[in-house]
Amino acid sequence: MRRVGMFVATNLAVLIVLGIVMTFLEPWLVSQGIDVHTATILIIALVFGMGGALVSLLLSKRMALMSTRARLITQPSNQVERWLVETVARQAREAGIGMPDVAIYDAPEPNAFATGASRNNALVAVSTGLLRHMGSNEVEAVLGHEVSHVANGDMVTLTLIQGVLNTLVLLLSRVLGQIVDRVVFRSERGYGPGYFISVIVLQILLGILASMIVMAFSRWREFRADAGGARLAGRNNMIAALERLKKASGPAQLPESVEAFGIRGRVGSGFRRLMMSHPPLDERIRALHDGAR
């Protein structure tokens, strides 16, 4: 709950600081004929920026289960399910977190993901393809990677960053949209066609920049989760698991809502790389080798 509190406090701080700035700027803007409705913009940013991200965090487990059609292991029905639950329980104790829910979803590709609203209310899910194509030592490393995501609070932190950036995008696009409409398009009210065109264009441009920032953090946390998986299951096992993932054919097929939380995601080069949630597997393997030196 501490990270959720940080999320709310950070977004409120952003709104308060920008509100103070706009309060000082407003007299000058009005003198120039620019009437910016600060309170309305702040409310919009608060509701859609912070509120939307917070709702997505609170519903993350349910949405992940629905989108992947994963089955929770409430009572292990075979040796494999029993081993999965016992392994996650042991790693959770070592990581100092509450026992996550454990689930299996049907997919041919080897993959796994973790999500949840807090360190003590999380979900770790593995694909049938992962269990089919990996040895137990490699699966253990993958589970350690996902448990490390939970222990590091990555889901909450990623949502915090996204919420702050959403708030800034919504706020700045509307403030700048009114200014452009009054100064460039000479609209008397600031809500003419120029405003709506400017807001749409600015939200797209600022949204792309915000996504780059979010994805940069997402790539960084993958390295950290790999290091955590190495601590919980052994460095050689973590490297072996990533090497096995390299042999998987085709792109990762997780639903977009949980793709950033999978152990394997889409990668690209050039500009596309800036929008990728995961670094190349070769770089992750090299980082583990470098950490052992």
Q: Which residues participate in catalysis according to the annotation?
A: 146
Please, what is the angle between helix 281-291 and helix 193-233, to 10°? 40
CA distance 182 to 117: 43
Q: Which two tokens stand for residue 267?
A: 């990668």
Reported as type and span, the H/E element at residue 277 is none
Q: Which two tokens stand for residue 241?
A: 């698991």
Alpha-carbon 178 to chain mean position: 31
CA distance 287 to 281: 10
CA distance 53 to 32: 36
Q: List helix spans (H) across 113-153.
A: 128-133, 136-151
